[in-house]
């Protein structure tokens, strides 16, 4: 089975993705991650203004029989939260790189992006 790994994103080995634009970034979980989880039924995310630290968990994704922590690929301050996930957690399954985005943050240190996996490396990891 092949999973979608968009070329314009960077990845964490725990299956989170980052879409960086200048000093801000969007964060979500990968197509592979949503498939592993199965039907997502609940997403717990931090509030706007929360501080994320690279490598530390910031939220929880629940399916029927599993609970998974979600880790911050990079450090930053949360500037927007995808509130639609509250009532429509299925967006994580249906469109993990689009409507299923989780957070938008202001990056603390753009150089942290260099520590993340390239699409090719991430593809190698999940195959």
Partner 1 sequence: MSERETERGSPYAPQTAAETTAMLDAVGAADLESLFDVPESVAFDGEFGIDARSERETKREVARLLRRNADLTEFLGRGHYDHYVPSVVDDLAGRSEFLTSYTQYQPEVAQGFLQALFEYQSMLVELTGLGVANCSMYDDATALGEAATLSQRVRSVSGDRILVPGHLREGKRAVLANYADGPGLSVESYPMDDGAVDVDALADAIDSETAMVYAETPTVRGVVEENLGAIGDLADDHDALFCLGSDPVALSLLERPVDVGADVVVGDAGSLGTGTAYGFGLGMFVTREEYLRQVPGRLVGASEDAADRRAYTLTLQTREQHIRKERATSNICTNQAWVALRTAMHAAWLGPDGLVDLANECVTRPRDLAARLDEVVGLQAPVHDRHHFREFVARTDQPASAVAGDLLDEGYAVSEVGEHLIQVCATETTAEAEDGLVAALSEVAK
Partner 2 sequence: MKYDQARWTDDGDDRYEPLLSEKANETVEIEDAALPDDLTRDSLTLPDPAEPELARHYTRLSQMNYGVESGPFPLGSCTMKYNPSFTEDVAARPDAAIHPDRPDATVQGTLALCHRLQDYLGRIGGMDAVTLQPPAGAAGEFTGIEIAKAYHEANDEERREVVIPDSAHGTNFATAAMAGYEVVELPSDDDGRVDTEALAAAVGDDTAALMLTNPNTLGLFERDIEEIADLVHDAGGLLYYDGANLNALLGRARPGDMGFDVMHYNVHKTFATPHGGGGPGAGPVGVREGLARFLPNPHVRERDGNYEYYEPEASIGKVHGFYGNWPVLVKAFAYIARLGDAGLRDASAKAVLNANYLAEQIDYDVPFGPFHHEFVASAGEQDAADAAKRMLDYGVHPPTTKWPEIVDEALMTEPTEGETKRSLDQLAAAFDAVAAEDDETLAAAPSRPAARRIDQVSAARNPRLSWQALDDA
Which residues in this chain contact partner 1 in the complex, by CB under 8 A? 42, 44, 62-67
Instruction: Annotate each residue in 3-42 with x if it binds partner 2 (CB under 8 A) or - if it does not, as one string.
Output: ------------------------------------x-xx
For residues 2 and 65, which CB has a smaller minimum distance to partner 2 in the complex? 65
3-state secondary structure of 27: strand
3-state secondary structure of 90: coil
Whether residue 99 contacts residue 84, with contact meaning beta carbons closer than 8 Å, is answered with yes
HSE-up of residue 80 (Cα within 13 Å, Cβ side): 9
What's phi and psi for 44, nearest 5 deg?
Answer: -115, 120
Q: DSSP character for 79?
A: E
Residue 66 touches which of partner 1, partner 2, none (Cβ within 5-8 Å per kind): partner 1
Whether residue 102 contacts residue 86, with contact meaning beta carbons closer than 8 Å, is answered with no
Residue 39 touches which of partner 2, partner 1, none (Cβ within 5-8 Å per kind): partner 2
CB of residue 66 vs partner 2: minimum separation in angstroms?
A: 11
CB of residue 122 vs partner 2: minimum separation in angstroms?
A: 25
Q: State the residues that interact with partner 2 by CB under 8 A.
A: 39, 41-42, 62, 64-65, 89-90
């Amino acid at each position: 089975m092949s999973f979608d790994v968009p070329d314009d994103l960077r990845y964490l080995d725990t299956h989170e993705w980052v879409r960086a634009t200048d000093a801000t970034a969007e964060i979500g979980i990968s197509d592979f991650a949503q498939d592993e989880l199965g039907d997502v039924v609940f997403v717990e995310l931090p509030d706007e203004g929360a501080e994320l630290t690279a490598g530390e968990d910031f939220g929880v994704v629940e399916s029927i029989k599993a609970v998974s922590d979600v880790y911050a690929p990079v450090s930053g301050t949360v500037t927007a939260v995808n509130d639609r996930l509250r009532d429509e957690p299925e967006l994580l399954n249906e469109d993990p790189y689009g409507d299923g985005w989780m957070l938008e943050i202001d990056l603390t240190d753009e150089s942290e992006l260099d520590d993340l996996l390239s699409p090719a490396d991430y593809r190698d990891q999940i195959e």
